[in-house]
């Protein structure tokens, strides 16, 4: 199993251009956020009737999926898992409030499509294919790479 640093080194190969990096710093979190929104849009009656917590921010399919996502990150780095957990919590909270104002699934699809267009535009600028075309796990490395690059003291 590769270390987080090894993943980052390989991911960085196709993310050298400053414009592509800037696009990724916006679009990768937007895609993550929109996926959380899409998962929160799935009816969660089974979860809420089972748990009976009256806590819609955690009684939804996004929360369930994010628990498994965090297992992936814990295997790589506890510190990174904590950072992704904080970002995930912010996504859950923000999506909950967006859902109070408009149809969350429509909003999430719009963000998802626009962000992916941005991603492919960035890779067009870079002149290199997206990393996930080589290994699907890079879809999980992208958010960690953004967190590491935006919030590290390097």
Q: What is the pLDDT of residues 52-73, one digit of tens each?
A: 898 999 999 999 999 999 999 9
Closest listed residue to residue 145, CA positions, set 33, 19, 2, 29: 29
First to last CA, the chain: 25
CA 69, CA 16: separation in Å to the nearest integer? 27
Q: pLDDT (tens digit, 9 = 90+) per residue, 20-59?
A: 999 999 999 999 999 999 999 999 999 998 988 989 999 9
Confidence at residue 152, expressed as pLDDT on a 0 to 100 scale: 72
Residue 134 DSSP SS3: coil
pLDDT of residue 1: 82
Question: What is the predicted pLDDT for the residue at 123?
Answer: 95
pLDDT computed for residue 151 by the predictor: 79
DSSP string, 51-112: H----TTTSSHHHHHHHHHHHHHHHH-HHHHHHHHHHHHHHHHHHHHHHHHS-HHHHHHHHH
Contact of 80 with 73, CB cutoff 8 Å = yes
Taking the CA atoms of 35, 37, 40 and 43 in sequence, report the sign of the dihedral they define: negative
pLDDT at residue 147, rounded to an integer: 94
Residue listed under structure tokens 């290994």: 135
Q: Is the pLDDT of residue 154 over 60?
A: no
Determine the average pLDDT of the residues in 128-146: 93
Q: What is the pLDDT of residue 60?
A: 96
pLDDT, residue 153, reads 60
Of the candidates 71, 100, 78, 86, the one whose C-alpha atom is nearest the C-alpha of residue 32 is 86
Give the pLDDT confidence of 89-115 residue by residue, as tens digits. 999 999 999 999 999 999 999 999 999
């Amino acid at each position: 199993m590769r270390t987080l640093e090894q993943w980052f080194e390989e991911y960085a190969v196709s993310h050298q251009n400053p414009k592509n990096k800037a696009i990724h710093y916006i679009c990768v979190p937007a895609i993550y956020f929109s996926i959380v929104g899409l998962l929160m849009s799935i009816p969660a009656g089974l979860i809420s009737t089972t748990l009976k917590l009256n806590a819609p921010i955690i009684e939804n399919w996004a929360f369930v999926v994010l628990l498994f996502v965090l297992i992936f990150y814990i295997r790589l780095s506890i510190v990174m898992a904590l950072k992704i957990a904080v970002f995930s919590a912010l996504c859950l909270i923000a999506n909950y409030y967006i859902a109070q104002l408009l149809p969350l699934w429509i909003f999430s699809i719009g963000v998802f499509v626009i962000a992916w267009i941005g991603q492919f535009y960035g890779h067009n600028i870079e002149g290199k294919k997206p990393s996930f075309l080589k290994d699907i796990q890079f879809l999980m490395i992208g958010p960690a790479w953004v967190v590491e690059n935006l919030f590290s003291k390097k």
